[in-house]
A and B are shown apart, each in its own frame.
Chain A
Amino acid sequence: MPGKILLVDDAAFMRMMLKKILAQSGNELLEAVDGSDGVAKYKEHKPNLVFLDIVMPNVDGIECLKQIIAFDSNARVVMCSSIGQQTVVNDAIKIGARDFIIKPFDAAKVLETVSKNLS
């Protein structure tokens, strides 16, 4: 069942990489350019899944996650992390992130994450 996926990353390059991978999944893709945009887009579109970058200007990924979870405690958020950020990822999971993926993105893993979290 196709759903809506929101990609939150300040780097257009990273959003593009994800978009390219996710294009195969048949879901509708939405984009947000930073944390505050991410929260706004979440509230507006109520996506089924969110890919959320951690390091961003204005509102960072953790703060964005908190606000999304506050708005919708069932939100399905996948953190996009780099190696070496485990503490932050652990924090994110405690706040309510469902999953995480590691940059650089591996297409198979990204798609696995989508199918596991959207089922």
Chain B
Amino acid sequence: MDDMSEYKEMYAVEAAEHLQSMNEALLNLEKDTENSETINVMFRAAHTLKGMSATMGYTNIKELTHEMENLMDSVRKNKMKLDSAAIDILFECLDTLEKMVENPENCSQFDISGLIRKISLLSEMKAETNEQPGTADVTHENDKSDNIDMEKIEDGCTILDITVTLHESCVLKSARSTIVMRNLSELGEIIETNPSIKEIEDEKFDREFKIVVSTKEEAAKLEKAVMKISEIAKVEIKPHEGIQAKAKVEEKSCAPDSNKTAIKSVQSVRVSIERLDSLMNLVGELIINKIRLMQLATVHKLDVLEETLASLNRLTNELQEEIMASRMVPIEQIFNRFPRMVRDLAKKEGKEIDLILEGGDIELDRTVLDEIGDPLVHILRNCVDHGIESPEIRKQAGKNQKGTIRLTAKREKNHVVIEALDDGKGMDPQKFRETAVKKGILTQEEAAKLSDNEAINLSFMPGFSTAEKVTDVSGRGVGMDVVRTKIGSMGGSIKLESTKGTGTKIILKLPLTVAIIHSLMVKVGKDVYAVPITNVVRDLSIRKDQIKTIKGEEVILIRGEVLPIVRLHKLFGIDTNGSEELLVVVVERGGSNIGLVVDQVIGQQEVILKNLENHILKGVRGFAGATILGDGNVALIIDVGTLL
């Protein structure tokens, strides 16, 4: 086992899983301290993690999990009860474990002695209070073999003294001796042992023990039977001196339990996400090349080629779907960390909160999942910090003292919608208007024009958030522009709905995958751009003279609604043909719509996102990335949220 490096990754993945299941178990134990199945889950996870860590030589992790395992073992054997103090300590242990597991090589730098002391204090205290007469755990199982009835020996039997010496590296000496005796009892009868069987089982001997056996077999055969066992250093067999005896040897009851039906488990292998990323990328390239081929076939009218390409097309589509499917992970992987987080936050702020999670089985691309973790944490924090009121205030308002946050994921066609709904104090649109004016973001008139919904969506404006802290608007919006930027960069969208006094709802609409973005392709000047379909409301065509100007901003009137428009060619500084007919793509942005004026709408297409984060697009607002088109040209993918 000289080369441990290849196991590190696997260790990290499994250790994280065990930490997660311990976290969940603890949260459940907090509600129901006597649920034996949950106690067992906790015990098993600690035990398995201990074993893994010992294998890797991560001593501190091993020791801490060992203490936790012991504690849980006492609990499951009803030697002690879990109270809130014990649960708090276990949570502390988990926090420390999490840190150590993150960088297990350096786990020795953590001081775990305090935690271990706390645990042992806990078990001592409990042991004292629980140790009443009669409850002590005494085993009587093998007492009977201590007193062997001496009777006359069966004919043809010889009595042998067998002295067995265990190897010095042997750890479980009693278990090893039990095997020795079991093997010997298959060849004869054990009359006596020295030390006694009970003492051997309690490991009250050094490395050597003696067994007196009555057998019809040859001494050599017995010797072989013992030497076959692992960790045996030496066996000596001599004819017995002294009394000839025969003993009754206890039989082992091993009544087999009725066969339970075996549960089939799914075969799986672990694949690193990098490998899936590069597979996805390769399929992307393949599709681009396929599109090029198809265009060539059309241009040169090659019917034969087109037939072949049709089946190639089907194959690449299937390949793409399979790879996409293999990248999907249930959203509960990140939902799982929230109960603990909300619990801790609520406890810190003296609030009572029920977090309800729904739709954890909805699957999302791994990359999307990684990206939405932080935004969701942010949103939930806001719910706890500023949404849910303190129990007293809630009582006064005639609400249930306990607030509720409901986090729901559901699948809608090609995207996943995540809603965070709280029954807290909601947002006051008037305060948002006032703050916007105070901050100089809007004029008095502009602010007055905003609908209530538009007003609260101001919280997505960059710079609005800093105003929050000093002016204490309804409290929401700290860093919400960061959240929107993140969601937008994945081709998703975010919306806020709130009613003052009754609560707030934040709706995230996310693509299933970031690698492939379903887009509406448009042309501005000579260039093609992709607008993620999640943002698109509709497209329409207008005449130039329909454009009106209100306060220097161009708008159009559709069905009685004022729709601000943005001419993309102006924004991008590109020449345009200037025809009388204008095409407008209406997109949704932070709860309101805007029209993007383009030269041509090409149609819908799946585009493969090429990550340009580290290249030219880094820090450029308005674009989520780029894609390569079938003809080899590059098209930028518009991020509506940050475009303006």
Residue pair A94, B178 in contact (C-beta under 8 Å):
yes
Question: Which residues of A have CB within 8 Å of B259?
Answer: 39, 67, 70-71
Docked Cα-Cα span, A108 to B50, in Å, equals 22
Interface string of B414-439 (1 = CB under 8 A from A): 00000000000000000000000000
Find out whether the CB atom of B52 lies under 8 angstroms from the CB atom of A82.
no
Interface of chain B residues 477 through 528 with chain A (CB within 8 A): none
Q: B51: nearest residue on chain A (CB-CB)?
A: A103
B contact residues around A66 at 8 Å (CB):
254, 256-257
Q: Is A89 an interface residue (CB 8 A)?
A: yes
Q: Mark A98-118, 1 if CB is under 8 A from B, else 0.
A: 111111110101001100100
Instruction: Decide if A36 is an interface residue (CB 8 Å cutoff).
Output: yes
Q: Mark B40-62, 1 if CB is under 8 A from A, else 0.
A: 01011001101110110100000
The verdict on A36 contacting B229 (CB below 8 Å), with A12-B14, A13-B11 known, is no
B1 CB–A CB distance under 8 Å: yes
- Closest Cβ of chain A to B253, distance in Å, is 8
Does B356 count as interface, using CB distance less than 8 angstroms?
A: no
- B-side interface residues, number (CB < 8 Å): 42
Mark the stretch among B93-101, B261-269, B289-297, B373-381 that contacts chain A. Answer: B261-269
CB distance from A25 to the nearest CB of B (A): 14
Could you tell me which residues of chain B, from 192 to 210, have a CB within 8 Å of some CB in chain A?
201, 203
**Most B CB within 10 A of own CB, among A33, A81, A82:** A82
A5 to chain B, nearest CB (A): 15
The answer, yes or no, to whether B230 is at the interface (CB within 8 Å) is yes
Of all chain B residues, the one with the shortest Cβ separation from A105 is B55
Given contacts A17-B55, A69-B254, contact A37 B1 (CB under 8 A): no
Q: State in angstroms the CA–CA spacing of A89 and B182 once bound together.
A: 13
Taken together as a complex, chains A and B put the C-alpha atoms of A1 and B11 apart, in Å, by 33
Given contacts A16-B10, A36-B262, contact A55 B44 (CB under 8 A): yes
Bound complex: CA of A27 vs CA of B70, how far in Å?
A: 36
> Bound complex: CA of A58 vs CA of B40, how far in Å?
10
Contact of A104 among B51, B201, B263 (CB under 8 A): B51
Contact among B48, B231, B256 with A10 in the assembled complex (CB-CB below 8 Å) = B48
Which of B52, B171, B262 is A40 in contact with, Cβ under 8 Å? B262
Contacts of A93 in B (CB 8 A): 175, 178-179, 182
Contacts of A102 in B (CB 8 A): 171-172
Whether a CB of chain A sits under 8 angstroms from the CB of B174 is yes
Q: Is the CB of A16 within 8 A of B172?
A: no
* A94 to B179 CA separation, bound complex (whole angstroms): 8
- B228 smallest CB distance to A (angstroms): 5
Whether B260 lies near A17 (C-beta < 8 A) is no
Contact call A95/B254, Cβ cutoff below 8 A = yes
The answer to whether A22 has its CB under 8 Å from any CB of chain B is no
Residues A57 and B260 in contact in the complex (CB < 8 Å), given A11-B52, A81-B172, A98-B179? no
Given A116-B228, A116-B229, A82 and B254 contact (CB-CB distance below 8 Å): no
Q: Which residue on B lies nearest to A57, using beta carbons?
A: B44
**A1-30 interface mask toward B, CB cutoff 8 Å, 1 = contact, 0 = none?**
000000000111110110011000000000
Q: Is the CB of B172 within 8 A of A113?
A: no
In the assembly, what is the distance between CA of A17 and CA of B4, in Å? 9
Which of B51, B54, B57, B171 has most A Cβ within 10 Å?
A: B51
Nearest chain-A residue to B49 (Cβ)? Answer: A11
Contacting pair B256 A90 (CB below 8 A): no
Task: Tell me which residues across on chain B come within 8 A of A43, comparing CB atoms.
Answer: 262
Contacts of A86 in B (CB 8 A): 172, 174-175, 203
Chain B residue with Cβ nearest A10:
B48
- Assembly CA distance A57 to B25 (angstroms): 14
Note all chain B residues with C-beta closer than 8 A to A89.
172, 175, 178
Query: Complex: how many Å from CA A107 to CA B263?
Result: 31
Of A20, A37, A99, which contacts B265 at CB under 8 A?
A: A37
B195 to chain A, nearest CB (A): 15
Judge whether B262 and A13 touch: CB under 8 Å: no
**A33–B7 CB distance below 8 A:** no
Which residues of chain A have C-beta atoms less than 8 A from B265's C-beta? 33-34, 37
Q: Report how far A70 CA is from B260 CA in the complex, Å.
A: 12
Q: Which residues of B contact A82 (CB under 8 A)?
A: 47, 50-51, 54
Instruction: State which residues 44-91 of B face A: CB under 8 Å.
Output: 44, 47-48, 50-52, 54-55, 57
Asked whether any CB of chain A lies closer than 8 Å to the CB of B559, the reply is no
B48 proximity list for chain A (CB < 8 A): 10-11, 14, 55
Instruction: Tell me if B230 and A13 are in contact (CB < 8 A).
Output: no
Give B170's nearest chain A residue, CB to CB: A102
**Nearest Cβ on chain B to A65's Cβ, whole angstroms:** 9
7 closest pairs, A vs B, by CB?
A: A70-B256, A40-B262, A104-B55, A89-B175, A104-B54, A103-B51, A36-B262
**Pairs A–B under 8 Å by Cβ, sample size 12:** A10-B48, A12-B14, A17-B55, A36-B260, A37-B263, A56-B44, A90-B201, A103-B55, A104-B54, A104-B55, A105-B1, A112-B230
20 more CB-based (< 8 A) A-B contacts, given A36-B262, A66-B254, A113-B230? A10-B48, A11-B14, A12-B270, A17-B1, A33-B265, A36-B260, A55-B43, A55-B47, A66-B256, A70-B259, A81-B175, A90-B175, A93-B175, A94-B252, A95-B252, A101-B230, A102-B171, A103-B51, A104-B57, A116-B230
Mark A residues whose CB is within 8 Å of B. Answer: 10-14, 16-17, 20-21, 33-34, 36-37, 39-40, 43, 55-59, 63, 66-67, 69-71, 81-83, 85-86, 89-90, 93-96, 98-105, 107, 109, 112-113, 116, 119
